[in-house]
Structure 1
Amino acid sequence: MFIRSVIKVTTGILYVIAFGFLGVSYIKDREKTKMALKKAWRAFENILPQFLGIIIVVGLLLSVLNPEVIAKVLGGQSGWLGVIISSVVGAITLMPPFVAFPTAALLLENGAGLMQMAAFVSSLMMVGVLTAPIEIQYLGKKLTFWRNLLAFIFSFLVAYIIGRVV
């Protein structure tokens, strides 16, 4: 409960800072600021279909899997088995960061544990099972294997640290 209120306060502070800098930018150079906002809007429009698609899938999963099931499989009491499941799912899922964090937040709100979501997000961001063929073309099989294996192991270290800190 404490962590969620800290996250909400931090989010509010970051919004205030961002809008403050936007105001400073607007005062300094209105045309550049308008151009930057237009570029940002176009980027948002490009991202929106992916974002909505993932949110719809997560919403459907949350409607099928009630919070009790999520808590049982990925909750704090699921222990290291939940961490393993989360890491594997993260490793084989291809999701951009701007979708991964809201997805983890939705899962947390529906009963998932912090350790499990830390493992999910870290393996999601660092392990590339689906992107391995492309990575092999540039880095080779051996380096790709070791990079992904070490990143997967690191996701457990992240989960352990989050479990100790929180």
Structure 2
Amino acid sequence: MTNVVLYGAVGIILLISFYKDKSKTKMALKKAWKAFENILPQFLGVIVIVGVMLSLIDPETIGILVGNQSGWVGVILSSVIGAITLIPGFVAFPLAALLLQNGAGVMQIAAFVSSLMMVGVVTIPVEIKYFGKKLTLLRNTLAFIFSFIVALIIGRVVQ
């Protein structure tokens, strides 16, 4: 029901925009379509990879590796995987939901998502180029530590 309301509101706003200025609205829609076309291959690629992984790995295995019973070992594993993975945010949250539905623990997913968003192992060379080695390592280290704090807080709040 919420989706219907949101899509309806967007449709109404789009019609108002089109009424006020047709050329700007058309240009905005063209830009939005271009952005969608640029994002779609990455999004579909990650969804396919996740789908294949979820079909190969049963929920019990996910539960063992990053489920509630995996404890802090699972939190550390999730945080390390998140830190070295380069996935855009619009893919990370649906991925986290799929993992939760398939047996992953809340603390583990919190660590995964927070380190995924804040720690950039893959982007360290670029970051060093612009910010310097010391600041880059400090920022990534603090962000990695913070992912454990986030996991602990989420674990306490949800459970």
TM-align CA RMSD: 2.0
Amino acid at match of 1:133: P
Equivalent-residue separation in structure 1 for 2:69 and 2:135 (angstroms): 36
Count of aligned residue pairs for this structure pair: 158
The gaps in structure 1 that reach 5 residues or longer are 1-8
Q: Which amino acid aligns with 1:40?
A: A
Aligned counterpart, 1:151: 143
How far apart, CA to CA, are the structure 2 residues paired with 1:105 and 1:70?
A: 13
Number of the residue aligned with 2:56: 64
Give the residue type in structure 2 aligned to 1:99.
Answer: V
Partner of 1:128: 120
Which 4+ runs in 1 deviate beyond 6 A?
Answer: 9-13
Q: TM-score, normalised by structure 2?
A: 0.88
Alignment of 1:1-166 (within 5 A): 15=7, 17-166=9-158
What 5-or-longer segments of structure 2 have no aligned partner?
none
Residues 112-166 of structure 1: CA deviation (Å, up to 9, x unaligned):
1221111111101110111111111111111111100000011111111111221
Aligned partner letter, 2:39:
I
Matched with 1:6 is none
Secondary structure of the residue aligned to 1:41 is helix
